[in-house]
Every structure is written in C-alpha cells, then in structure tokens.
C-alpha cells in the first residue's frame, strides 16, 4: 500500500487532527460527514506554500476511491461542503500541512500528490475518521487526480478564483461570452482558499465587468467550480455604458449616459447609476485587460 508509511506517532497526530475537522463539519451542518465530503474538504484545503510538498497542487485536488472488491466509490449524495464557512478548511489545511511535513521527514523527500493520497489512505484505514457512509477498512485505494495541463474554455456558471496580492483570492462567476468580451460577476471580499463560501455568495457586486481570457488560458485564474444558480444574481445580458453625447447627432445617449446590451438594446441611465459605474468621474472602462482587472481588484488606481 505505502512504500514508506507514516510512523505510528505521526499517524496518531494527523488522525486526531482530521477527526477534529470531521467534528467541526458535523457541528456546522448538523450531520455526519460522508467520505466524498471529507475528501472534498481536503481537496480545497491542500497546502499551497509548504516546502514539504513536491509541487504546486491544483485546488481543489480531487481523489478517486476504490472500495473492497474493486468497486468504485461515487458518493452520489448532494454535498453540504458549500454550506461551510472557512474554519473547517483552515483546520483541514493545517492538518494536511502537518501530514506533509511528517511524511517528508519519514521519506526524506518532498511529498508528491501520490504520496499524499497514500498517507491519507493510511489515515482513513486506521478507523479513526468516522464517516457516515463507508467504513475505513473498506477503502482499498485512494489516488489523487492531477489533470493534464489544458487551456480551459470558460462557460457561464464557471466560478473563477483570481489571486489577490495580499492573500487569498477574489471570486467571480462567468456570466456570458459575447462580442463585448467575457462578462464576470464579482463578489465583495476575498476567499482564503479560492472557494465561494456562504458569506461571499451574499455579497455580489451590482455591476458586472467585461474582460478577456488570457489569465484563464495561462492558468493564473483557475476555474474552481460551476454553479449556474449564481447567474440569477447578475444581469442576464450585462451592458456596457456610454457617456452623454458619445455620438452627437447620431445616437442620443441621454443626460447622464446610456447602457447598451450585447443584444442591441439601449436605455438611458440616471445620475446614481452613472456615478456608480464611473461615468461621472471618468473612471469607467467598457472592458479590462485581465491582468489590469486583477490589479484593480487588489486596490489599484481605477474601479471595477
């Protein structure tokens, strides 16, 4: 199973910590954790800055489970992980950092995704992690699934994690792709682990922005989920804005400006909307280069 298993004292330390994570999950959602939910929490909380880790692990890291008899574990029940706040993930991240350090010390080498999965399998098979749907002894195999590098094509409903300069991530949802660009609905605040937690879901920014996809294509902005229910929080056809007198004698853009959708409709806006989007002070941009938008979200010179 493992070429270099965790020593008993390290196994006990990590198992005790992860049992506390399981307990914290139950306290938050009011029920015992399933194996699928346990692995989902760990996948979101993989260490990203540990010298014990061999490489930058994708987040979320996903796992494939094999049960006794070679049966594939699917975990078909709806996940309650999106209901969690950050405390459970912080605890899980600390436990996995300890796990990586203990495993690296035992093997004398940095930890690969394969080694991490093998060590987690050892913890699960110890029987010290109570699960709602599976006995630890029935878990025969656990592998980390690290996808081959490819250029993703964002779809409406894809959730993006945009790295923040100080720490964590800004979160956005892809709303649509049209001739204006790729429209993003942004959320106030930052996420330590690049996941759209319940507090961020309550804080959508009123006005979407248009950008291009270079930072998605090069992997700097990661697609970390897909949730089409988020689309209802934002306009279905996000507009761009035109200042008053943009086309004198050709198109009337009103006293304070106008909003144009990709579908071709034009509506006059009032002073409040003109001020909110930046038409009145000249900071409005109809679209942003993705790298520049990231700087703005970090508190740059313009607005988003």
> Per-residue pLDDT tens for 239-297?
999 999 988 889 999 999 999 999 889 999 999 999 999 999 989 999 998 999 999 99
d(Cα 83, Cα 302) in Å, to the nearest integer? 34
Q: CB-based contacts of 88: which residues, under 8 Å, 6+ apart?
A: 21, 24, 25, 28, 41
Distances (CA, A) of 224 to 89, 102, 290, 297: 15, 28, 17, 18
d(Cα 198, Cα 195) in Å, to the nearest integer? 10
d(Cα 143, Cα 137) in Å, to the nearest integer? 16
171 touches 187 (CB < 8 A): yes
| Size of the chain in residues | 304
d(Cα 286, Cα 24) in Å, to the nearest integer? 45
Number of H helices, E strands in the chain: 8, 11
Record the pTM: 0.67
171 touches 200 (CB < 8 A): yes
Task: Tell me the pLDDT tens digit for each residue of 151-200.
Answer: 668 999 999 999 998 788 999 999 999 989 999 999 999 998 888 888 88
**Percent of the chain's residues with pLDDT above 90:** 60
Torsion angle of the four alpha carbons 106, 110, 113, 114, in this order, in degrees rounded to the nearest 10: -50
Residue 55 scores a pLDDT above 90: no
Query: Where in the chain are the domains?
Result: 8-145, 158-297
CA R_g for the chain: 23
């Amino acid at each position: 199973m493992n070429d270099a298993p965790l020593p008993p004292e390290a196994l006990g330390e990590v198992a005790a910590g992860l049992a506390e994570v399981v307990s914290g999950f139950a306290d938050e959602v009011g029920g015992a954790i399933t194996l699928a939910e346990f692995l989902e929490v760990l996948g979101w909380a993989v260490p990203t800055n540990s010298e014990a880790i061999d490489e930058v692990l994708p987040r979320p890291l996903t796992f494939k489970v094999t049960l006794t008899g070679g049966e594939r574990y699917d975990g078909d029940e709806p996940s309650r992980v999106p209901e969690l706040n950050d405390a459970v993930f912080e605890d899980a991240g600390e436990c996995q950092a300890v796990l990586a350090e203990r495993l690296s010390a035992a093997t004398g080498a940095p930890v690969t995704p394969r080694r991490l999965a093998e060590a987690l399998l050892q913890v699960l098979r110890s029987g010290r992690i109570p699960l709602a749907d599976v006995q630890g002894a029935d878990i025969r195999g656990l592998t980390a699934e690290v996808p081959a590098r490819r250029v993703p094509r964002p779809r409406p409903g894809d959730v993006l994690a945009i790295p923040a300069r100080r720490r964590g991530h800004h979160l956005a949802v892809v709303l649509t792709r049209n001739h204006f660009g790729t429209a993003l609905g942004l959320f106030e605040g930052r996420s330590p682990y690049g996941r759209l937690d319940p507090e961020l879901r309550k804080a959508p920014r009123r006005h979407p922005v248009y950008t291009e996809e270079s930072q998605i294509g090069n992997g700097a902005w990661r697609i970390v989920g897909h949730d089409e229910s988020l689309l209802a929080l934002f306009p279905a056809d996000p507009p761009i804005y035109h200042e008053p007198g943009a086309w004198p004698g050709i198109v009337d853009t009103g006293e304070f400006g106008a909003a144009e959708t990709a579908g071709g409709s034009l509506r006059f806006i009032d002073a409040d909307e003109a001020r909110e989007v930046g038409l009145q002070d000249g900071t409005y941009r109809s679209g942003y280069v993705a790298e520049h938008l990231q700087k703005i979200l970090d508190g740059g010179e313009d607005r988003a």
